Amino acid sequence: MEVKKYRFSPIQSKKELLDAITYIHIECNKLCKESFNMYLPNAGNMTVCCHYEDEFAFLTELRKELTVSSNNPDQKFFLLHKPITIAKVNGIPETTYRYLYIRRPREDTSEVGNIDFYLEVEEYQKIKGSLIKGEIIRGARIYNRKDLDMIELYDPAVDVLGYVSTPAMTERVRVKQSDETIL
Protein backbone atom coordinates (compact mmCIF):
# COMPACT_ATOMS: atom_id res chain seq x y z
CA MET A 1 0.00 0.00 0.00
CA GLU A 2 1.30 3.45 -0.98
CA VAL A 3 2.00 5.84 1.90
CA LYS A 4 0.37 9.25 1.42
CA LYS A 5 2.85 12.11 1.35
CA TYR A 6 0.10 14.67 2.04
CA ARG A 7 -2.70 14.38 4.58
CA PHE A 8 -5.56 14.30 2.04
CA SER A 9 -3.99 14.42 -1.42
CA PRO A 10 -4.76 13.13 -3.83
CA ILE A 11 -8.43 13.93 -3.18
CA GLN A 12 -10.45 11.64 -5.44
CA SER A 13 -14.09 12.03 -4.37
CA LYS A 14 -16.60 14.60 -3.16
CA LYS A 15 -16.55 12.96 0.28
CA GLU A 16 -12.76 13.31 0.50
CA LEU A 17 -13.10 16.98 -0.50
CA LEU A 18 -15.66 17.56 2.26
CA ASP A 19 -13.42 15.75 4.77
CA ALA A 20 -10.53 18.05 3.80
CA ILE A 21 -12.77 21.12 4.10
CA THR A 22 -13.86 20.08 7.60
CA TYR A 23 -10.24 19.52 8.60
CA ILE A 24 -9.17 22.93 7.22
CA HIS A 25 -12.04 24.58 9.08
CA ILE A 26 -11.18 23.02 12.43
CA GLU A 27 -7.40 23.47 12.21
CA CYS A 28 -7.57 27.08 10.98
CA ASN A 29 -9.93 27.96 13.81
CA LYS A 30 -7.50 26.39 16.27
CA LEU A 31 -4.75 28.63 14.84
CA CYS A 32 -7.01 31.65 15.27
CA LYS A 33 -7.80 30.75 18.88
CA GLU A 34 -4.10 30.21 19.67
CA SER A 35 -3.13 33.60 18.24
CA PHE A 36 -6.01 35.78 19.45
CA ASN A 37 -7.54 33.74 22.28
CA MET A 38 -10.87 33.89 20.44
CA TYR A 39 -12.50 32.81 17.20
CA LEU A 40 -12.69 35.61 14.65
CA PRO A 41 -15.56 36.01 12.19
CA ASN A 42 -15.12 33.93 9.06
CA ALA A 43 -15.31 35.48 5.58
CA GLY A 44 -16.81 32.34 4.02
CA ASN A 45 -13.76 31.71 1.77
CA MET A 46 -12.39 28.15 1.64
CA THR A 47 -9.17 27.23 -0.20
CA VAL A 48 -8.28 23.61 -0.85
CA CYS A 49 -4.71 23.05 -2.04
CA CYS A 50 -3.83 20.42 -4.60
CA HIS A 51 -0.52 18.60 -4.72
CA TYR A 52 -0.89 16.68 -7.96
CA GLU A 53 -1.95 17.78 -11.46
CA ASP A 54 -4.52 14.97 -11.82
CA GLU A 55 -5.98 15.92 -8.43
CA PHE A 56 -6.24 19.55 -9.61
CA ALA A 57 -8.00 18.43 -12.80
CA PHE A 58 -10.47 16.29 -10.83
CA LEU A 59 -11.19 18.98 -8.23
CA THR A 60 -11.58 21.67 -10.89
CA GLU A 61 -14.26 19.55 -12.59
CA LEU A 62 -15.95 18.88 -9.23
CA ARG A 63 -15.79 22.60 -8.42
CA LYS A 64 -17.58 23.32 -11.71
CA GLU A 65 -20.46 21.13 -10.50
CA LEU A 66 -20.54 22.73 -7.05
CA THR A 67 -20.17 26.40 -8.00
CA VAL A 68 -21.57 29.16 -10.19
CA SER A 69 -19.49 29.57 -13.33
CA SER A 70 -17.66 32.79 -14.15
CA ASN A 71 -16.41 34.30 -17.39
CA ASN A 72 -13.68 36.13 -15.50
CA PRO A 73 -10.33 34.39 -16.21
CA ASP A 74 -8.95 35.89 -12.97
CA GLN A 75 -11.73 34.41 -10.82
CA LYS A 76 -10.13 32.62 -7.90
CA PHE A 77 -13.00 31.85 -5.49
CA PHE A 78 -16.26 30.59 -6.94
CA LEU A 79 -19.69 30.97 -5.33
CA LEU A 80 -21.05 27.62 -4.18
CA HIS A 81 -24.54 26.68 -5.41
CA LYS A 82 -25.18 25.23 -1.96
CA PRO A 83 -23.06 26.75 0.83
CA ILE A 84 -21.16 24.32 3.04
CA THR A 85 -22.08 24.68 6.72
CA ILE A 86 -19.96 23.08 9.40
CA ALA A 87 -21.72 22.68 12.74
CA LYS A 88 -20.31 24.00 16.00
CA VAL A 89 -17.66 21.64 17.32
CA ASN A 90 -15.42 21.90 20.41
CA GLY A 91 -16.29 25.58 20.86
CA ILE A 92 -15.57 26.45 17.22
CA PRO A 93 -18.64 28.35 16.01
CA GLU A 94 -20.87 27.04 13.25
CA THR A 95 -19.55 28.43 9.99
CA THR A 96 -20.93 28.65 6.48
CA TYR A 97 -18.58 28.68 3.51
CA ARG A 98 -19.97 30.33 0.40
CA TYR A 99 -16.84 30.49 -1.79
CA LEU A 100 -14.45 27.74 -2.90
CA TYR A 101 -10.99 28.04 -4.42
CA ILE A 102 -9.12 25.00 -5.71
CA ARG A 103 -5.47 25.96 -5.77
CA ARG A 104 -3.12 24.57 -8.39
CA PRO A 105 -0.23 22.41 -7.07
CA ARG A 106 2.87 24.24 -5.83
CA GLU A 107 6.16 22.50 -5.11
CA ASP A 108 6.92 24.72 -2.11
CA THR A 109 3.95 23.82 0.07
CA SER A 110 2.30 20.82 1.64
CA GLU A 111 -0.64 22.67 3.18
CA VAL A 112 -4.11 21.18 2.94
CA GLY A 113 -5.76 24.59 2.60
CA ASN A 114 -6.66 27.85 4.27
CA ILE A 115 -9.52 30.11 5.26
CA ASP A 116 -10.01 33.84 5.71
CA PHE A 117 -11.04 35.56 8.91
CA TYR A 118 -11.76 39.24 9.27
CA LEU A 119 -11.63 42.10 11.71
CA GLU A 120 -13.16 45.54 11.37
CA VAL A 121 -10.70 48.04 9.88
CA GLU A 122 -9.69 49.79 13.13
CA GLU A 123 -9.06 46.55 15.02
CA TYR A 124 -7.18 45.06 12.07
CA GLN A 125 -4.96 48.15 11.75
CA LYS A 126 -4.25 48.08 15.49
CA ILE A 127 -3.13 44.43 15.42
CA LYS A 128 -1.17 44.85 12.19
CA GLY A 129 0.51 47.94 13.62
CA SER A 130 1.59 46.04 16.73
CA LEU A 131 3.13 43.31 14.56
CA ILE A 132 4.96 45.90 12.47
CA LYS A 133 6.36 47.42 15.69
CA GLY A 134 7.75 44.01 16.62
CA GLU A 135 5.15 42.77 19.09
CA ILE A 136 5.00 39.01 19.10
CA ILE A 137 1.60 37.41 18.63
CA ARG A 138 2.06 33.67 18.76
CA GLY A 139 1.39 32.16 15.34
CA ALA A 140 0.70 35.49 13.60
CA ARG A 141 2.86 37.41 11.14
CA ILE A 142 2.45 39.97 8.40
CA TYR A 143 1.69 38.13 5.16
CA ASN A 144 4.59 38.76 2.82
CA ARG A 145 2.75 39.81 -0.35
CA LYS A 146 2.61 43.37 -1.59
CA ASP A 147 -0.74 42.85 -3.34
CA LEU A 148 -2.56 41.54 -0.24
CA ASP A 149 -2.92 43.29 3.11
CA MET A 150 -3.26 40.33 5.47
CA ILE A 151 -1.97 38.73 8.63
CA GLU A 152 -1.03 35.08 8.25
CA LEU A 153 -1.79 32.55 10.99
CA TYR A 154 0.57 29.61 11.06
CA ASP A 155 2.13 26.85 13.10
CA PRO A 156 5.03 24.86 11.61
CA ALA A 157 3.50 21.69 13.06
CA VAL A 158 0.15 22.26 11.31
CA ASP A 159 -0.57 21.84 7.58
CA VAL A 160 -3.08 24.70 7.16
CA LEU A 161 -2.83 28.49 7.16
CA GLY A 162 -5.30 31.14 8.24
CA TYR A 163 -5.50 34.70 7.02
CA VAL A 164 -6.88 37.75 8.80
CA SER A 165 -7.78 40.97 7.04
CA THR A 166 -10.58 43.49 6.69
CA PRO A 167 -14.01 42.66 5.23
CA ALA A 168 -13.10 44.52 2.02
CA MET A 169 -9.86 42.54 1.59
CA THR A 170 -11.64 39.20 2.14
CA GLU A 171 -13.86 40.09 -0.82
CA ARG A 172 -11.00 41.45 -2.93
CA VAL A 173 -8.99 38.20 -2.66
CA ARG A 174 -11.73 36.30 -4.45
CA VAL A 175 -10.19 37.52 -7.72
CA LYS A 176 -6.54 37.19 -8.73
CA GLN A 177 -4.61 40.30 -7.61
CA SER A 178 -1.21 39.63 -9.17
CA ASP A 179 0.95 37.00 -10.86
CA GLU A 180 1.85 35.67 -7.40
CA THR A 181 -1.58 34.01 -7.38
CA ILE A 182 -1.45 30.54 -8.89
CA LEU A 183 -4.78 29.80 -10.57
**pLDDT band, very low/low/confident/very high, at 88 (cuts 50, 70, 90):** very high
Share of the chain above pLDDT 90, in %: 90
Task: List the domain boundaries for the chain.
Answer: 14-172
Is the pLDDT assigned to residue 109 strictly greater than 90?
no
Q: What is the pLDDT of residue 2?
A: 52
* Residue 179 pLDDT: 85
Q: What is the mean pLDDT of residues 172-179?
A: 92
Phi/psi for 83 (5° steps) reads: -55, 150
How is domain 14-172 classified at the CATH fold level?
Answer: 2,3-Dihydroxybiphenyl 1,2-Dioxygenase; domain 1 (3.10.180)
Closest CA to 135 of 126, 143, 144: 126
The structure's pTM equals: 0.95
